[in-house]
Structure 1
Amino acid sequence: MKGTLSICCLLSLLLLQAAAEEEEVITEPLRDRSHIDETLRLATEEKAKDYAAFLQRLRSIYHTSIKPMEQAYKYNELRQHEISDGEITSKPMVLFLGPWSVGKSSMINYLLGLHESQYQLYTGAEPTTSEFTVIMHGEKIRSVEGIVMAADSSRSFSPLEKFGQNFLEKLIGIEMPHKLLERVTFVDTPGIIENRKQQERGYPFNDVCQWFIDRADLIFVVFDPTKLDVGMELEMLFRQLKGRESQIRIILNKADHLATQDLMSSFWPYDYAPDTSRELFKKEEISLLEDLNQVIENRLENKIAFIRQHAIRVRIHSLLVDRYVQTFKDKMSFFSDPELVFKEIVDDPDKFFIFKSILAKTNVSKFDLPNRDAYRDFFGINPIASFKPLSTQCSYIGGCLLDKIEKAITNELPALLSSINSGKQPGLSSCEATGCGEKPKNRYRKN
C-alpha cells in the first residue's frame, strides 16, 4: 500500500510539474509586433492603386501579341508553362522552402499574427507539414480542397491539375480576412526529409516545387545548421533555384556561433531572450519585412517583367522551330528519306548552324538559348511537318505573329511599365483601337 501511495504521489507531482511548465510556456511574454504593421504599412487606411486598367492592358497584350505565337509553335510542350488570366491577375506569391522542422510554418504564423489562435499552422519538433498549403485572402476563414482550387479557372492554380490527383490531395488552401493577405499570398511547402532516400510521395515533388518557384516573387529558403543532411531532394532543389538569386532570401536558424540564441526567435511571437542582441535581430527582421513590402509595391512591374521574359522565350523558341523547318526543307530532295534527314538535323544542330544562325540574324543573347537536347524530345512528340514557317504566319487583318510579339517585347510592355511609373492610365494602341488594315510586312521572310 505504501508503495502504491508513493507511486500515486509521484504521478501527481509529475502532473503538477508538467502543468506548471505548460503554464510557464503559455504565459511567456510576447513580443511587440507593431513594427510589422508599420513596415508593411498595414495600419494605414490608404487604398492600393487601381490595378484593374493596367492588368486589363497586360492581358490584352498577352492574348493579342504573345499567345498566338505560343500556340502556333507549341511552346507549352517545350517548357510546360502556360499563362492563365488567373496568373496574370494573381497577387504576389511568397514561397517557403527548406527541410522539415526549421520554422517555415512558424514564420507564417508570426507574420500573420496567428499564434495561439485556432487558425495557426501546426508546428512542432517533428515533421508536421505534409501538404502544399496556400494561405490567401478571403472574406471569411475557410479551407479549400486542392481539387477545388485546380478546378477554379479564376484562380492561378488551375495548371497544377497536370500533376495528378495524388498531388491535389496534398494541396490545400486556407482563406482568411487579413490586410497582408489582401496584398500577398503565402505558400508553405512540405519539409524535405533526406533520411528517407526513396520516399514515396506519390507525386512529382520537385516538379511541383519548380512550378511554384517559377511563379514566386519572393522565396524564403529556411535552414537549421543542426539538420544539414544534403540528399537527392535538397540537391535538386538547389539546382531548381539557379537563376532566381534576386528573389531568394536565406533564413539560417539556430546558428552555432550564437549558442545562447537561435535565429528562429526573430520569427516567433515570444520576446527575445535576455542575452540576445535585440537591436541586431530587429534590424534583420525589418530588413526582411522591407523586402516583402518591396515585392508588394512592385507587383505590377514584376508582372510586366514576367510576361516580357515569357514573350522573349516564346519568340526564341519560335525562331528556332522556324530554322529547323527551313533547314529540313532545304535538305530534302525527291529521293531523300524524311526521317533520316531530320534525324541528322536534330542530332547535330551545330552542323547546320541552327542555333548560330539565330544569334547571327536576330538580337537574341546566347545566354537565352534553350538546351538544344530539348528539341530532340520536342520534335519526337511534334512532327516537323506540323509546323508552318514564320514567313507564312501572317494575315491582312491580324498582321504577322513575329512582328506582333517583337512589338510587345520592344514597345508595348515597356510603354505599359512607363505608364505605371508616370501614373498615367494605359491606353490601347491605334491599331488595337481602330484596326490597322495595312498589308503585313514580314522582316523575317526568306528572300
Structure 2
Amino acid sequence: MRGLLAATMKGSIISVCCFVSLLLLQATAEEEEDFTSVLRDKSHIEETLRFATEEKAADYAAAVQRLRKIYHSSIKPMEQAYKYNELRQHEISAYPGRTLGDAATDGEITSKPMVLFLGPWSVGKSSMINYLLGLNDSPYQLYTGAEPTTSEFTVIMHGEKIRSVEGIVMAADSSRSFSPLEKFGQNFLEKLIGIEMPHKLLERVTFVDTPGIIENRKQQERGYPFNDVCQWFIDRADLIFVVFDPTKLDVGLELEMLFRQLKGRESQIRIILNKADNLATQDLMRVYGALFWSLAPLINVTEPPRVYVSSFWPYDYAPDTSRDLFKREEISLLEDLNQVIENRMENKIAFIRQHGIRVRIHGLLVDRYVQTFKEKMSFFSDPELVFKEIVDDPDKFYIFKSILAKTNVSKFDLPNRDAYRDFFGINAITNFKPLSSQCSYIGGCLLDKIEKAITNELPALLSSINSGKQPGLSSCEATGCGEKPKNRYRKN
C-alpha cells in the first residue's frame, strides 16, 4: 500500500512538471509571437529623411536644364563625331563609377539618385526596402521568404499611381535611364521589372533590388550575363548597400567577383549586418569580427567601408537585445541616404564633367591615330598594312605619350590600348576627321567647346549650386559675345 502511494505521488509530480513545462513553452511562444507582431515606431525615418522639408524645385529644375544644355552643346557633339559609344573596354571599368564607352543620356541627367541593394540570398534586401517604404502588408510589397525569392532586378521608382512596368517597356522608354540595358538581351529584360508608386521618398531616390548571390549557381544558368548587369547598375549607383545576415558570412566565387566589381567604389559602399537582433550581444560581437575577417581579402583599402549593425524590418526588436544601438545604427544609415539625396545635383555635375573628360581624351586619341595614319601614308603604301602597324603597336608611334605631353591628361585616365584595336576594327580610320577640321564659324571648335565645359561652365554651375545662386545663362553664354572661335590645331 505504501509503495502504491509513493508511485502515485511520483506520477503526480511528473504530471505537474510536464504541465508547468508546457505552460512555460506556451508563454515563450506567445512572447516570441508578441515581439514579431508588434510594429516598430517609424517616425525617425521621416524625421531623418526630412520628408516634410520643402525643396526649391525651381532652382533644381533650372540647374538640370543648364546641365542638359552644357552636355548637348559642348560634350555630345564630340561624342557623336568620334563615336564614343562604340568604344569598348573588356576589363572591369577603367574609370571608377562608369564603364568606358557608355554615352550619357538625358534620362541619366534627369534621373534621381540610385540606391542599389546587393548581397547573398535571403539576407533581408527586399524586407529592408519594404520597411523603408512602408510596403508591408500591402498588395505591392516585395515578396520575401527564407528561400531564394527575388529572381528579378526590381526597380522601385516614383509614379502617380501604383503600377508595374515590364523590362521591355523600361528599356524602350528613352525618357528613362534604362534604355542601355537592351544590350544584355531579351532574356535579361524578362528578368527586369519596374514598380511605380506615389511615395515621398521615391520622389527623391530610386531603389534597385537584385537577385541574391547563390554560390552553387553558375552564371550561365541565369540565362543572362549576371555579372555584367550588376556592373551596369554598380557604375550608376550613388549608394550601394551590401547586405549580410549572421548565417551567411561565407565568401564564394560569385561574391568574390562582386567585390572585384566594386573596386574603386568604396566611398559608395555601405555594408549592413542585418537581422542582428537574432543574436545575443556576445554572439553578435563574434559574428561582427567574422564578417570583417571574411571580407578583409576582398576590400583591400586603408579605410574599410562602414558596417551598420541592425535589424531592418517593421517588427519590434527581439527581447534582451541592444535596442538603442540598433536604432542609432539605423538612424546613421538613414543620414547617409539623406546625404546622397541632398548632394544629388552636385553628383550629377561631377558625373557629367568626368564623362566629358573621357570623351575629350577619346577625341584626342582618335585625332592622333588619324594624324599618324596620314603622316605614314605615301603613294606606294598599303593602307591596311600601315593601319595595322599603328594599331598593333601605338607606343612605337608615341600616340598615347603624345597625348600626355601636349595636353592636361592624367596617365591614369588613359584607356586600354587594346580598346582601340577593337574600336578601329568596326570603324574605319578614314571615316574620322582630325580635330583641326571639326570647327565652324558659328558653332566653334569641338575641342574648345568641350574644354570650356570641363574647365569653366561645369565648375561655375557647381559653384552656383553651392552658393545658392540661380544657375541661369548669362548673355555671353547664350550668344558667345561675338567671339571668333580659336583653332589651336590650325597652323598659322
TM-score, normalised on structure 1? 0.89
Cα shift at 1:151: 1.9
Distance of aligned partners of 1:332 and 1:13 in 2 relative to their CA distance in 1, 3 Å threshold: farther
1:365 maps to 410
1:339-387 Cα deviation digits (max 9, x unpaired): 2222222122222111111111111111111111111111111111111
1:177-209 Cα deviation digits (max 9, x unpaired): 111111111010111211013542222222222
Q: Matches of 2:142 and 2:192 in 1, distance apart?
A: 14
Cα shift at 1:161: 2.1
Q: Matches of 1:231 and 1:149 in 2, distance apart?
A: 32
Preserved CA contact (<8 Å) 1:272 1:278: yes
Cα shift at 1:44: 4.2
1:59-138 paired onto structure 2 within 5 Å: 59-79=68-88, 85-138=106-159
Q: Residue 57 of structure 2: SS of its match in structure 1?
A: coil
Q: Which runs of 5+ in 2 are unaligned?
A: 1-8, 94-105, 286-309
1:288-331 Cα deviation digits (max 9, x unpaired): 11110011101111110110010001001111111111112222
Preserved CA contact (<8 Å) 2:90 2:419: no
Q: Residue 143 of structure 2: SS of its match in structure 1?
A: coil
Cα shift at 1:270: 1.8
Cα shift at 1:159: 2.1
Q: Pick which of 197-206 and 169-178 moved more.
A: 197-206
Cα shift at 1:25: 6.6
Identical columns (%): 92
Q: Matches of 1:328 and 1:18 in 2, distance apart?
A: 85
Distance of aligned partners of 1:81 and 1:439 in 2 relative to their CA distance in 1, 3 Å threshold: farther
2:67 maps to 58
Distance of aligned partners of 1:356 and 1:134 in 2 relative to their CA distance in 1, 3 Å threshold: same
Cα shift at 1:257: 12
Q: Residue 354 of structure 2: SS of its match in structure 1?
A: helix
Aligned residues: 447
Q: Which runs of 5+ in 1 are unaligned?
A: none
Distance of aligned partners of 1:325 and 1:2 in 2 relative to their CA distance in 1, 3 Å threshold: farther
Cα shift at 1:334: 2.0
Distance of aligned partners of 1:444 and 1:97 in 2 relative to their CA distance in 1, 3 Å threshold: farther
Cα shift at 1:242: 1.5
Q: Matches of 1:32 and 1:367 in 2, distance apart?
A: 49
Q: Aligned to 1:34, which of 13, 27, 43?
A: 43
Preserved CA contact (<8 Å) 1:134 1:188: yes
Q: Residue 476 of structure 2: SS of its match in structure 1?
A: helix
Preserved CA contact (<8 Å) 1:393 1:401: yes
Aligned: 1:387 with 2:395? no
Preserved CA contact (<8 Å) 2:36 2:316: no
2:10 maps to 2
1:421-436 paired onto structure 2 within 5 Å: 421-436=466-481
Cα shift at 1:142: 1.1
Cα shift at 1:49: 5.9
Q: CA RMSD in A?
A: 4.8
Cα shift at 1:146: 1.2
Distance of aligned partners of 1:224 and 1:376 in 2 relative to their CA distance in 1, 3 Å threshold: farther
Cα shift at 1:426: 1.7
Distance of aligned partners of 1:403 and 1:82 in 2 relative to their CA distance in 1, 3 Å threshold: farther
Q: Matches of 2:390 and 2:172 in 1, distance apart?
A: 41
Distance of aligned partners of 1:343 and 1:309 in 2 relative to their CA distance in 1, 3 Å threshold: same
Cα shift at 1:421: 1.4
Distance of aligned partners of 1:150 and 1:257 in 2 relative to their CA distance in 1, 3 Å threshold: closer
Cα shift at 1:98: 1.6
Preserved CA contact (<8 Å) 2:159 2:198: yes
Q: Matches of 1:268 and 1:350 in 2, distance apart?
A: 57
Distance of aligned partners of 1:230 and 1:23 in 2 relative to their CA distance in 1, 3 Å threshold: closer
Distance of aligned partners of 1:328 and 1:3 in 2 relative to their CA distance in 1, 3 Å threshold: farther
Preserved CA contact (<8 Å) 2:114 2:206: yes
Distance of aligned partners of 1:235 and 1:48 in 2 relative to their CA distance in 1, 3 Å threshold: same
Q: Matches of 1:435 and 1:48 in 2, distance apart?
A: 29
Q: Matches of 1:292 and 1:416 in 2, distance apart?
A: 24
1:124-157 Cα deviation digits (max 9, x unpaired): 1111111110111112211111112122222222
Find the structure with the greater CA-based Rg.
Answer: 2
Distance of aligned partners of 1:7 and 1:119 in 2 relative to their CA distance in 1, 3 Å threshold: farther
Preserved CA contact (<8 Å) 1:254 1:261: no
Q: Residue 221 of structure 1: SS of its match in structure 2?
A: strand
Q: Matches of 1:3 and 1:181 in 2, distance apart?
A: 65
Preserved CA contact (<8 Å) 1:149 1:157: yes
Distance of aligned partners of 1:199 and 1:101 in 2 relative to their CA distance in 1, 3 Å threshold: farther
Cα shift at 1:229: 4.8
